[in-house]
Amino acid sequence: METIIRNITERVTNIYRQFDASHDYDHILRVMKNAEEIAQSMPDADMTVIKLAVLLHDIDDPKYKEVGNVSASELLRSAEVDDELAMKVLETIKSVSFNGGNEEEIVYIEGAIVRDADRLDAIGAIGIARTFAYGGAKGRKLYDAAEIARTKMSEDEYRSRQTASVTHFYEKLLLLKDLMVTAEGKRLAAERHDFMVAFLKQLDAEIGTAN
């Protein structure tokens, strides 16, 4: 199994090099670290599923389809992963996306772990850095005081509207703490969430939008 993981790691490293800094291979390494930390308190979790799902979880991200990379299922097939394991990995990956709050149901414990691990990397100091890295790559405004954050939206609406980077905090990032599934994920998210709140308070003071 280590050979399969090594094979897929080599393949995805080259793919993620084409992505911007918010979703590059360093992101994968951080999510892997988070997942391993969470999984320590959940001994029944299958680490092979977790590792493969982490490695592949952004391969089919709609934001990067134009890069023309192969799909996660094709990578699993080319690495000769058996059908049962591949199905579990793909089901785990489906559990991860936020999709504007339209989340997929978590089927396996591994899905809970990978979802929380990925979301931890979306908040805190690294989450702030990633948000502005992505916004810069897409030419988005830093902030827009007149823009109203949406509380309900379809997946298409979430993905199609080019909101300012700060608006993204209110539409997604500040919600993630309360959407964590695992006990360890909840614990780790609390401090990161508080850091984002403090950052936004300071930002409001500096740009003159604080009450």
Ranges of each domain in the chain = 2-207
Cα–Cα distance between 39 and 82 in angstroms, integer?
Answer: 23
pTM, two decimal places: 0.91
- What is the three-state SS of 179-210? HCCCHHHHHHHHHHHHHHHHHHHHHHHHHCCC
Q: Phi and psi (nearest 5°) for 148?
A: -100, 125
* Res 105: pLDDT: 84
User: Out of 1.10.3720.10, 1.20.1740.10, 3.40.50.800, 1.10.3210.50, which CATH number does the structure's domain 2-207 have?
Assistant: 1.10.3210.50
Residue 25, helix vs strand vs coil: helix
Tell me the pLDDT tens digit for each residue of 159-173: 667 899 999 999 999
pLDDT-based confidence at residue 73 (cuts at 50, 70, 90) = very high
* Res 101: pLDDT: 55
Tell me the pLDDT tens digit for each residue of 125-149: 999 999 999 999 999 999 998 898 8
Residue 69, helix vs strand vs coil: coil
Cα–Cα distance between 105 and 128 in angstroms, integer?
Answer: 27
Q: Match 């890295």 to its residue by tokens.
A: 133
